[in-house]
Amino acid sequence: MTGLRYVYAVCRPFGTPLQSQLTGIGGAPPGLLHHHGLVAVVSQVPEADFGEEALKAHLEDLDWLAATARAHQGVIDALTTVTTPLPLRLGTVFRDCSGVRSMIEAREDDFRRTLERLEGRVEWGVKVYLDPEPPEPAAAVAARPGSGRDYLRRRRESTHAQEDRWQRAEAFAGSLHERLCRYAEDSRLHPPQNSTLSTTPGQNVLNAAYLVPRKHSEEFVETVDRTKGEAPGIRVELTGPWAAYSFTGEGQS
């Protein structure tokens, strides 16, 4: 059986060893491949799962994808505690170690530049949700509309109320984003999440990522915490610290 090499991240050499029980995809322990003054974090994966056809089929399987994504993220998380990793996209696979080495050689200038830019920084995720609409008061439901006109008026009123709530949530999200940008060196606005996949109730109004120096993280988190309960019907969620996934690209503002 042949094994392929799955690459999680590229880092600068770091002194602290990885957790000894750390496992990556398929339960394999990730190892460090040093080359040209950089480190690739690599584990072996079976060709049966990561060969071209197999991988293509697996990517369509949400359960497989979820498990693999969590394993990938687990390794990145562990790296984030000891260094500033440059996370690679899920599914970066090579035939053997020499393939990984050639890749490092081809991209080393890029890697160094980006690692330098991200050094000592983490990513925080902040999402703002508009809570699900409160149920109509019982009285309003009980009183059947007397006429078509009544019905239309009521429909209009409820639509207006919904628009008001939405506008208030957007204004809140805008002001929060502004406040958070004071602590962040950079930010990205991601598309709002689908509530079925995130299994989070309410409508996602803001889905943002912030690049924050570690030394400002405490203040950043406190600022987010202080907004909780600031606006009724609006929820703020914080995730992180993440490796700087959203800020790995070149030439971004």
Binding stretches for other proteins (CB under 8 A): 4, 7, 10, 19, 50-52, 55-56, 59-63, 65-66, 69-70, 72-73, 76-78, 80-81, 86-95, 99, 103, 107, 114, 122, 125, 190-191, 193-194, 196-200, 214, 217-218, 221, 224-225, 237-242, 245-246, 248
Minimum distance of other proteins from residue 114's CB (angstroms): 8
Do residues 110 and 10 touch, judged by C-beta distance below 8 A? no
94 sits in which H/E element = strand 93-94
Minimum distance of other proteins from residue 120's CB (angstroms): 12
Do residues 122 and 241 touch, judged by C-beta distance below 8 A? yes
Q: For residue 185, which of 247, 113, 245 has the smallest C-alpha distance?
A: 247
Minimum distance of other proteins from residue 234's CB (angstroms): 14
**Quick one: tokens of 224?**
């987010």
Cβ closer to other proteins: 110 or 136? Answer: 110
Cβ closer to other proteins: 46 or 154? Answer: 46
Cβ closer to other proteins: 96 or 163? Answer: 96
Cβ closer to other proteins: 70 or 153? Answer: 70
Cβ closer to other proteins: 63 or 178? Answer: 63
Cβ closer to other proteins: 91 or 154? Answer: 91
Q: For residue 35, which of 85, 84, 107 has the smallest C-alpha distance?
A: 107
By DSSP bridging, strand 38-46 and strand 3-11 are antiparallel
125 sits in which H/E element = strand 121-130
Question: Mapping DSSP to helix (H, G, I), strand (E, B) and coil, where does residue 64 land?
Answer: helix
Q: For residue 190, which of 172, 169, 173, 202 has the smallest C-alpha distance?
A: 173
Minimum distance of other proteins from residue 196's CB (angstroms): 5
Sequence-distant (6+) residues with CB within 8 A of 159 are none
Q: Residue 90 gets which letter from DSSP? A: T
Minimum distance of other proteins from residue 247's CB (angstroms): 8
Distance of CA 46 to the CA centre of its chain: 27
